[in-house]
Chains A and B, each alone.
Chain A
Amino acid sequence: MAMNHPEPVGPPDEHPDEHPDENPGARAGERPGDHPGEEHAELLACGRDLAAVWEQTEYAGRPGHTGRAQADAHTLGCAHCREAVADLERLRTAALAPTTADAGGPPDASALVRRVMDVVRLELRPGRTLPLGEADEDIWMYESVAARTVRAAAEEVPGVRAGSCRIAPPGGGVRGPVTVRLEVTVEYGHDLRATSEAVRRGAVSAARDRLGLTVSALDVTVTDLHDPAHRPQGATP
C-alpha cells in the first residue's frame, strides 16, 4: 500500500471556475496526520493503538460492516481503552445533540427552490432549433420546448411517464419533417403495445396540432415499468 504519493487536492467534477489544484489554501490547511504513514501511531498507556480502539466502536453491533473486528476482550476490560472510548462517546453525544435549529424539523427548501430557479430560468440553454411550418417559412423553435409538449402529450396516456425526448431535424440544415425518439416508463399491468401505440398517436397529433411541427417518424421505447403513482396522473399545476 503506497503511502507517499500526494493526494489529489480537488475532484474534477467541481465548479468550472474553481481551480482546486492551484488553491494555496488547500495545502496550507493540511495538518500533520492528513497523510497516512507520515505520523507514528498514537498508543494508549496499555500499548493499544488509539485509532484502532476508536474504530472498533464504529462497528459494534452494526450488521453489514466488514473488515474491522468487534471490540475484543482487551478493549472491553482495559481502563485506558474504556476511558478513550468514553471520550469519543462524549464527543459523539455533543456532536449529535439536536439543537433548537433542528427542532423545527428539516430545513425549509422553498426559498432555496425559488432562488435556484430564478437563476436557472435566466440561463439560456438554446440547444438545437427545429423547423416549424412549411419548407419555405423561416420559423423555428427550440428542441427542448417542443420536447416538453411531446412529453406532456405522452403523459396524457394512462400509466405513462415520459423520460428522454430527443427531436432531430433533417440533416444538413434542410427544413423538413423531424424525427422523434421518446422514452417512457409504463405502469405495471398496462398493455405495452397498446400503450406505446397510444403514445405515438398522441405525440404525433400534439406535434402537429399544438406546435405545427411535422413528424416523419416517432420512436417510442419503453425503458422501464413502474409502480402506480401515489398521486393521480394529470395533476393540475
Chain B
Amino acid sequence: MTTSPADAVCGAVTDAVLAVPGVACLRPGLRGLLQAAGRRPGAVRVAHDAAGAVRAVHIEIVARAQHRTADVARAVRTAAAEAAAAPPAAVTVTVTGIV
C-alpha cells in the first residue's frame, strides 16, 4: 500500500512538529494520529497548488507550560516549513492549549 505524496508530506510535517521540544501533542479531539491511508489528521492540514507544490500548511498544537508559548510556536513553524519543503511564510501555527 503506497502513501500518496500529499499524505507523505502530512506525515513528515506531523513527525517534525511532534519532535519539537515544548510540543505536548497536536490539537486534541482527534481519534488517532495516523489515520488509515487517505485520511489526514485535522490538526495538520496541507494545501497544494496546481503544480503539486505545498501552498499552505496549518498546524494546531498543544504546548507545554514550561516553554514560552511563542517560542514553541515559532519552532514548530520552522520545523514544519522544513519538513514540507515550503517557505516559513506558508505555515500558520495556532496554539489551542497549554498543559
Contact = CB atoms under 8 A, between A and B. Distances in A.
Contact of B69 (A124, A129, A212): A212
Contact of B70 (A121, A122, A123, A139): A139
A148 B28 CA distance: 18
Given A138-B89, A141-B94, A209-B68, A133 B73 contact: yes
A35 interface: no
B95 A141 contact: yes
A138 B95 contact: no
Interface in A101-128: 121-124, 126
Interface residues of A, number: 22
A80 B51 CA distance: 94
B27 to A, nearest CB: 8
Interface in B51-99: 65, 68-71, 73-74, 77, 89, 91-98
Most chain B CB neighbours (cut-off 10 Å) among A122, A126, A132, A210: A132
Given A122-B29, A140-B93, A145 B71 contact: no
A149 interface: yes
Interface string B24-42: 0001110000000000000
B68 A210 contact: yes
Contacts of A14: none
A171 B70 CA distance: 21
Interface string A141-162: 1100100110000000000000
Interface residues on B, range: 20 to 34
Contacts of B73: 132-133, 137, 139-141, 212
Nearest to B93: A139
B95 to A, nearest CB: 4
Most chain B CB neighbours (cut-off 10 Å) among A137, A139, A142, A211: A139
Given A133-B73, A210-B69, A211-B69, A138 B96 contact: no
Most chain A CB neighbours (cut-off 10 Å) among B28, B68, B89, B92: B68
A126 B42 CA distance: 14
B98 A145 contact: yes
Interface of B: 27-29, 65, 68-71, 73-74, 77, 89, 91-98
Given A126-B96, A133-B73, 12 more contacts: A121-B28, A122-B28, A122-B29, A137-B70, A137-B73, A137-B74, A141-B73, A142-B94, A142-B97, A148-B98, A209-B68, A212-B69
